[in-house]
Amino acid sequence: MSINEEQVRNEVREWLKENWSPNLDLVEWRLKLADSGWGMANWPAEWYGRDLPVSLVPAIEEEFSKIGALTIPKSGIRMLAAATILNHGSDMHKEKFLKRIITGEDVWCQLFSEPGSGSDLAGATTKAVMVGNKWVVNGQKVWTTSAHKAHWGLLLARTDMDETKHRGLSYFIIDMNQPGVETQPLMQMNGHASFNQVFLTDAEVMPDFQVAELGDGWQVATTTLMHERRAADSLRSWGQASKGDGPIYDQERVETETTMQPYKWYPQRAGRVDLIMDRAKETDAIKDPAIRQEIAKLMTLHKSAEWTARRARAAQEQGKPQGPEGSLGKLAASNVARAAAKVHTLISGADAMLTGEDSPMDGIIAEILVSFPASSIAGGTDEIQKNIISERVLNMPKETRFDADKPFKDIPRNTVS
């Protein structure tokens, strides 16, 4: 089956001509995208997509952007939720959640990490117990991005203490707006508070909000994480409001300011390589031979990381098995972020000490310098990525494990509850 790109472009153009208008309501527009399948064209046709290969998505998006038509913001946890539900969810889940993910009406969060288990996510101790006909959840989650805005949470919880660590976990979708769920913002070193502690006290989950089978939680979580890590390459872009005139653009700007607000600093955390050359010229740092070398080194890293990510995407789009390049995106992205922060420091010189309105670009540069460390931690640390790559891609001997075969209750762990 070969689908012609030109043919798809023609179809999109036709469809846009008939349907797009900047005077539409944002949700109304996105409902059109859901119903026509043009919003998530690579999704299955029966679930708001068109069964098209991912490789055609960029062409479709290009047609949208040519006329300034809005697409679906493909960042944030909700896209991870969608991928997980498409993979493992029931028809009821797909029915209930996918459309409102496309319209952007629902905000999602990922309730995986706990104070005692971050890298070791499978060590989660938050418990879900069946009481009567409901799951009752008790425990604490942490670093939960957007929890304070979220309607729904992707929850990893322990349903069996006697099972081994990985088999004792199950995966749920939890309603965040209920008395048993309390979120408390956590301030970050960059002054933002986009993540939270979430206290679950007799929080309830209906049985049909369990995803996949009991005990399959780890497997489902792995799907979510794979999508998160894959998306963390240098091709990632963070929803920034489009510039345009019309009610729909105003609504999108409001969305960016509200539901997308926790991601405001994410471009900075990635290092803002895009600003480097302009900053170097405007500060005259470009004349400094040592800084020129540093910039060139950064650009070499940045470009080759980008091309590596493109190779990985291309393979994925053509349905080829993932090569080693596919696992390197996230690691490369944290290297780029770190290197970029260093070069921004050199370019800014003494100004790198300042923040807020006293600092270059109204604090954007300062924000890079105190945000980049998140890249190598969030979504799985660099060390964990390297463990995975060395053991699964390079087939190096597995680290001896002390915690895989015993019942979970017998494994030593942190004393924090």
Partner 1 sequence: MKFSFSEEQEEFRSFLRRFLEEKSPTTEVRRLMATDAGWEKEQWQKVNTELGLTAIAIPEEYGGQGFGLSEQCIVLEEMGRFLLCAPYFSSAVLTANAILYGASEEYKKKYLPEIASGDLTASLAFTEETGAWDISSMSMCATKNKNTYRLTGIKSFVLDGHMSDLIIVLAKVDDNSGSQRLALFSVDSTAVGLTKNLLNSTDQTRKLAKLTFTDVEATCISSDDVTEAMHKTFLKSCIGLSNEMVGGAERLREDTLEYVKMRMQFGRSIASFQVTKHKATDMLADVELAKSAAYYAAAAFDDGESDIAATASIAKASASEAYMQTAINAVQMHGGIGFTWDNDTHLWFKRAKSSEVFLGTADFHRELMMQSWDQ
**Vertex 271, ends 343 and 57: CA angle to 5°?**
135
CB of 273 to partner 1, least distance (A): 18
E strand or H helix that includes residue 157: strand 152-158
Q: Choosing among ligand FAD, partner 1, none, which partner's interface includes residue 413 (Cβ < 5 to 8 Å by kind)?
A: partner 1
Nearest distance in Å: CB 56, ligand FAD = 30
Tokens of 87: 């993979």
Taking CB under 6 A as the criterion, the residue among 84, 103, 113, 190 binding ligand FAD is 113
Residues 361-400 that bind ligand FAD (CB under 6 A): 374, 377-381, 383-384, 387
Distance CA 163, CA 170 (A): 12
Interacting positions 366-395 with partner 1 (CB under 8 A): 366, 369-370, 373-374, 376-378, 381-383, 386
Residue 214: contacted member of ligand FAD, partner 1, none (CB under 5 to 8 Å, by partner type)? none
CA torsion, points 232, 234, 240, 245, in degrees to nearest 10? -140
- Which residue in the set 144, 224, 308, 348 belongs to the binding site for ligand FAD (CB under 6 A)? 144
**Interaction pattern, residues 329-368, with ligand FAD; x per rule: CB under 6 A:** ----------------------------------------
- Residues 161 to 220 in contact with ligand FAD, rule: CB under 6 A: 195
Number of amino acids touching ligand FAD (CB under 6 A): 19
- For residues 3 and 54, what is the distance between their CA atoms, to the nearest angstrom? 12
User: Around Cβ 392, how many Cβ atoms within 10 Å?
Assistant: 11
For the window 184-213, what string marks contact with partner 1 as x by the rule CB under 8 A? --xxxx-x----------------------
Distance CA 41, CA 376 (A): 31
- Give least dist CB 407 to partner 1, A: 12
132: CB partners within 8 A, 6+ apart: none
Q: Any contact of residue 397 with partner 1 (CB under 8 A)?
A: no
Bridge partner residues of 130 (DSSP): 135
Stretch that binds partner 1, among 59-67, 101-109, 254-262, 408-416 (CB under 8 A): 408-416
Type of residue at 152: W
Taking Cα atoms as reference points, which of 312, 296, 307 lies closest to residue 389?
Answer: 312
Of 90, 77, 208, 98, the C-alpha closest to 154 is 77
Q: How far apart are alpha carbons 210 and 171 in whole angstroms? A: 6
DSSP secondary structure letter of residue 67: T
Strand partners, 194: none
Pairing of β 134-142 and β 127-131: antiparallel
301 binds partner 1 (CB under 8 A): no
Run of H or E including 109 = strand 108-111
- Does residue number 286 form part of the binding site for partner 1 (CB under 8 A)? no
Please choose, out of 6-14, 97-105, 323-331, 337-345, the segment that lies near partner 1 by the rule CB under 8 A.
337-345
Site for ligand FAD contains 76 (CB under 6 A): no
Q: Please pick, from the candidates 17, 179, 350, 397, the single residue that binds partner 1 as defined by CB under 8 A.
A: 350
Tokens of 239: 């929803």
Cβ distance to partner 1 smaller for residue 12 or 343? 343
| 142 membership: H or E segment, kind and range | strand 134-142
Q: Give, in degrees to the nearest 5, the angle at Cα 236 between 230 and 242.
A: 145
Residue 354 touching partner 1 (CB under 8 A): yes
Q: How far is the CB of 153 from partner 1 (least distance, A)?
A: 17
Residues that bind partner 1 (CB under 8 A): 113, 116-120, 123, 142-143, 186-189, 191, 288, 290-291, 294, 338, 342, 345-346, 348-359, 366, 369-370, 373-374, 376-378, 381-383, 386, 399, 401-403, 411-414
Residues that bind ligand FAD (CB under 6 A): 109-110, 112-113, 118-119, 143-145, 195, 374, 377-381, 383-384, 387
